[in-house]
Chain A
Amino acid sequence: MEGRYVVNSRANSSALFSAHKFHAHPLLPPKITYLRFMPQTHMLNHSPHKQFSIKSQMVEINAGLASMSNPTISNEDLLKVKEWEIGMLQGELAASQGISIRRRPPTGPPPHYAGPFEYHLQNEGKTPCNILEEIIWYKDVEVSEMKKRKPLSMLKMLLDNAPPARDFVGALKAANSRTGVPGLIAEVKKASPSRGVMREDFDPVLIAKAYEKGGAPCLSVLTDEKFFQGSFENLEAIRNSGVQCPLLCKEFIIDAWQIYYARVKGADAILLIAAVLPDLDIKYMVKICKLLGLAALVEVHNEREMDRVLALEGIELVGINNRDLGTFKVDISNTKTLLEGERGERIRERGIIVVGESGLFTPADIAYVQGAGVKAVLVGESIVKQKDPTAGIVGLFGKNIAS
């Protein structure tokens, strides 16, 4: 059987080339899964100077050849090619940092693309690998839509009217000094994919006030609707309710636009998830936070993520999630593991505040993570479920931490 390959020919002409400075690639073989190029004559070579001729292959030129006579690739098409290419490169970058979450469902190359991604397999999973990926894919679409409705330029104008940012990290440190226990970030959360609805009668302002009364220095407000039944209205309402605690916008950030949006809605801190964002994005977003006066809580789950984050400049607040966002398993010894040895030393040297997250229900749990080195804890389920969240906080710490 002779080898065959399909040549998908696209236009190229010097005129086009110089006009677009786009290194069009008119005759590169297929951008499809198989690449089964095995011409008989090329295989099993044992003799010293074996000959091989391109003429010996059958070349199928598909209908794309028709486009060879049409030298024009529109700017629009070129733009699509570049955008797709950027998406693919972002994926490469993420993968090389051990990030297994893909930003969006994989798609094949657009017309006219030529380059290293041509041969990427098309049959890679088009369904999300886990809930985190599903959330991200959905968020990507959601944010694209919101950006159209409220472009960045509009948000920048609204920034002036936003309530001034409060000192999130400062509040945690002060509480830790005052009470001797880790500073509490109390979470206003109605539901989650892993645990379902945690509180049917959900009045975010009421809960926020109860938390404040119980001594919580800061609050975390879920703003994702689809999976957590949260919203930015909750954030705004709490901000405007008279509650003084700095507010963490608990969101799945994938675009800097969301940071501006959170600030406009009154956030004082936002969450950045290392399992989702490559270092490049984390660095960038931390800078934006600084410019806006927001604290960035960078969340990690394992050693690799912790090491990545510790290698970045400007990180002040690191959250250790004891829950595996892929499997939902919770293991609070994860915190101890990540704070042992050299990592713990580096954290102390740099004065980074570590927040323990997930799986904290009892004073023993609090003591455990405090012993490991955390100076703050983010607690949701165990207190939001309580009829009386204020009392819930006392139950959590084993004492009253209200000032």
Chain B
Amino acid sequence: MESLNLISLRATSPTPRAAAGFSFQQSLNPIPKNSSISSLMPQAHKKNQSFLGQISFPAIKSQQFEVKDGSSTASETSVPEVDALKIKEWEVGMYQNEVAASQGIKIRRRPSSGPPQHYVGPFEFRLQNEGNTPRNILEEIVWNKDVEVTQMKEKKPYAVLKKLLDKAPPARDFIGALKAANARTGFPGLIAEVKKASPSRGVLRENFDPVQIAKAYEKGGAACLSVLTDAKYFQGGFENLELIRNSGVQCPLLCKEFVIDAWQIYYARVKGADAILLIAAVLPDLDLKYMTKICKLFGMTALVEVHDEREFDRVLAIEGIELIGINNRNLETFELDIANTKKLLEGERGQKIIEKGITVVGESGLFTPADIAYVQEAGVKAVLVGESLVKQDDPTAGIAQLFGKDISL
């Protein structure tokens, strides 16, 4: 039998390359050579890694080769400490992906690079270019957000946020507001969304004055507001959140963001958010639990969003979740089906919701009083509505139209 000396297998390239962005549409095109991102990537991804490499990685059989003297093999005792750290950081990322995958999460947190030099372990045989392009828009958004947040954390580390936390306007009771509105009006409490655009629907409103829209919503009887803070895909911003918060509008504010790091929750609170979105399709249970706890520490509400049975069941098994949003839109395909809400709230799941006193929010695809009635019948106590209101010339009137009556105070 031939002797074997397995070397940690990875493709190496003389110059690190990274794409300026992972455009979903460009996934089949060559990666542009000007890399603006490489300097921003966490260490483990740099150096000898072809970030969105086009180097094809040979099949396993052809990777066997002999190195008899053993001198070029990974010697465990001589790996320099900094390299060892990089390896561990990379490994942490790989395990995080595994944990997510085992919960049915198809979104990967970041592109997966091949194993770093000297790595020995279960991920040795992962192919270099296995995970280079985002599989759908949600994954693309998350990958970009990962880079964005890494940058922002450098600019505003925790120490800075901590000082600002004390000055942040006190958190308002988001759920309380929804419940009160539901009690007062007999309709699901309205979370009215201040959104300029979205990947699925394009620009929804050209003349976009977030404060003006927020005031119109408040006037129309919205219990709470949702403010898009993602700039790249939704043309939103934390400036909008701050402006609305400082404008005199009283409604509690949901920071509608793609949260992947606890840092973002701190940041949102500093910017005046009262609630934050956590997407079960993106975050494994571990993170949902952790982030929900952080929210509680800040007096913020976590709105945990699900789309299908598996996500719903995962979330129902987590302690401390008070507010669950059912997204009728499939974030991978953009298909909309409001019957999704009814399906998810049937039978045992519906029972559990009632037993645990969880407030359910219907999201997406709500345009008419019939839609509202439908989801209310299914069991939702709140609705999050964006497109149908923000498009209206007069959002205040839009609310009355949505419910079929005036729900203002």
Contacts and interface: CB of A to CB of B under 8 A. Distances in A.
Interface string B187-204: 000000000000000000
A116 B170 contact: no
A153 interface: yes
A49 B177 contact: yes
Contacts of B122: 256, 280-281, 283-284
Give the 8 A-B CB pairs with smallest separation, nearest first.
A82-B88, A116-B290, A89-B95, A50-B173, A284-B122, A52-B299, A53-B170, A45-B176
A365 interface: no
Contacts of B354: none
B81 A76 contact: yes
A37 B85 contact: no
A352 to B, nearest CB: 21
15 contacts: A23-B153, A23-B261, A46-B180, A49-B252, A54-B166, A54-B299, A75-B81, A79-B81, A93-B95, A96-B102, A118-B290, A119-B289, A151-B75, A256-B122, A291-B64
Interface string B118-161: 00111111000000000000000000000000100110011100
Interface in A128-177: 147, 151-153, 156-157, 159-160, 164-165
B50 to A, nearest CB: 19
A12 B95 CA distance: 25
A151 B76 contact: yes
B3 to A, nearest CB: 4
Contacts of A279: 102
Given A13-B159, A54-B165, A160 B68 contact: yes
A123 interface: no
Interface stretch (A24-32, A298-306, A366-374): A24-32
A53 B121 CA distance: 48
Contacts of B299: 39, 42, 52, 54
A158 B226 CA distance: 64
A96 B157 contact: no
Contacts of A47: 173, 176, 180
Given A52-B171, A153-B75, A83 B121 contact: no
Contacts of B286: 92, 116-117
A37 B297 contact: yes
Contacts of A115: 262, 290
B242 interface: no
Nearest to B158: A26
Give the interface size class of chain A.
35 or more
Nearest to A164: B1
B95 A90 contact: yes
B373 to A, nearest CB: 24
B408 interface: no
Contacts of A256: 120-122
A23 B263 CA distance: 9
A85 B92 contact: yes
A51 B299 CA distance: 9
A257 B191 CA distance: 56
A153 B96 CA distance: 28
A55 interface: yes
Contacts of A29: 297
Given A12-B159, A164-B1, A51 B84 contact: no
A351 B142 CA distance: 42
B4 interface: yes
B298 interface: yes
B158 A156 contact: no
Contact of B60 (A86, A281, A287): A287
Interface stretch (A14-22, A199-207, A211-219, A393-401): A14-22
Nearest to A53: B170
Contacts of B43: 20-21
A213 to B, nearest CB: 27
Interface residues of B, number: 75
A4 B264 CA distance: 23
B76 A79 contact: no
A349 B157 CA distance: 56
A243 to B, nearest CB: 19
Given A37-B297, A256-B120, A256-B121, 7 more contacts: A21-B42, A42-B299, A47-B173, A47-B180, A52-B171, A152-B76, A291-B4
Contact of A48 (B6, B171, B173, B263): B173
A96 B89 contact: no
Contact of A49 (B1, B98, B250): B250
B73 A153 contact: yes
B253 to A, nearest CB: 11
Contact of B77 (A49, A117, A151): A151
A35 interface: yes
A156 B168 contact: no
A81 B4 CA distance: 34
A157 B44 CA distance: 30
Nearest to B289: A116
B290 A119 contact: yes
A108 interface: no
B176 A119 contact: no
A13 B157 contact: yes
Given A37-B297, A75-B82, A153-B70, A54 B168 contact: yes
A234 interface: no
Interface string A275-292: 000011101100110011
Contacts of B150: 23
Q: Which of B64, B168, B177 has the most CB of A within 10 A?
A: B177
Nearest to B300: A52
B291 to A, nearest CB: 8
Contacts of B172: 49-52
A231 interface: no
B76 A147 contact: yes
Interface in A279-332: 279-281, 283-284, 287-288, 291-293
B12 interface: no
Interface in A30-76: 35, 37, 39, 42, 45-55, 68, 75-76
B88 A54 contact: no
A244 interface: no
B400 interface: no
A157 to B, nearest CB: 5
B91 interface: yes
Nearest to A87: B95
A259 B143 CA distance: 37
B166 A55 contact: yes
A210 interface: no
A116 B287 contact: yes
Contacts of A53: 170-171
A26 B162 contact: yes
Contact of A37 (B102, B154, B296): B296
A130 B222 CA distance: 56
Interface string B279-299: 000001011011001101111
Interface in A99-131: 115-119
